[in-house]
């Protein structure tokens, strides 16, 4: 079963919904997959603080390589530790050199919750053999 998300607020909506019950946006027209990814990446800069957190989570679940630069920027520069944590988590799921370098850098973040999350992700990646032994 596919989970549907409102392309405005990125909360879960039912497949049949035509109006988002959360933000009341008309969602009767389904967006294409390419637009969907772009909208998710754009939502990382949304003003409502939980929207970027949700967008980062969905991008991670979808393993969106295209989102790595935007997520990396957030992980390195954003001030909200919740958002940084979700970006780091998403990068851990997407994987690759840039993503894992960013997760590694996040183990030195000023926020404890980000450091703990980054260490958990690295441990998880290492246990799956996804990190090089010399790093």
Q: Site residues (CB under 5 A) for Zn ion?
A: 6, 8-9, 20, 22-23, 25
Non-local (6+) Cβ contacts of 45 within 8 A are 52
User: Which residue lies nearer to Zn ion by CB, 52 or 92?
Assistant: 52
* Cβ neighbours around 115 below 10 Å, total: 17
Please give the structure tokens belonging to residue 8.
Answer: 């405005």
User: Which residue lies nearer to Zn ion by CB, 11 or 104?
Assistant: 11
Q: How far is the CB of 123 from Zn ion (least distance, A)?
A: 35
| Run of H or E including 12 | strand 12-13
Residue 25 — φ and ψ, nearest 5°? -80, 145
| Residues 20 and 9: beta-carbon distance below 8 Å | yes
Q: How far is the CB of 119 from Zn ion (least distance, A)?
A: 34
User: Which residue lies nearer to Zn ion by CB, 50 or 131?
Assistant: 50
Q: How far is the CB of 21 from Zn ion (least distance, A)?
A: 8
With tokens 């979700």, the residue in question is 86
Q: How far is the CB of 46 from Zn ion (least distance, A)?
A: 11
User: Which residue lies nearer to Zn ion by CB, 23 or 126?
Assistant: 23
């Amino acid at each position: 079963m596919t989970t549907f998300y409102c392309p405005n607020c990125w909360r879960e909506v039912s497949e049949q919904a035509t109006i988002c019950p959360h933000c009341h946006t008309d969602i009767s027209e389904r967006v294409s997959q390419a637009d969907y990814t772009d909208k998710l990446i754009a939502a990382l800069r949304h003003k409502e603080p939980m929207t970027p957190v949700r967008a980062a989570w969905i991008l991670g679940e979808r393993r969106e390589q295209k989102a790595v630069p935007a997520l990396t920027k957030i992980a390195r520069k954003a001030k909200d530790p919740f958002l940084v944590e979700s970006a780091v988590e998403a990068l851990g799921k997407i994987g690759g050199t840039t993503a894992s370098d960013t997760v590694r850098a996040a183990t030195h973040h000023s926020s404890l919750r980000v450091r703990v999350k980054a260490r958990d992700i690295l441990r998880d990646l290492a246990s799956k053999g996804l990190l090089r032994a010399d790093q």
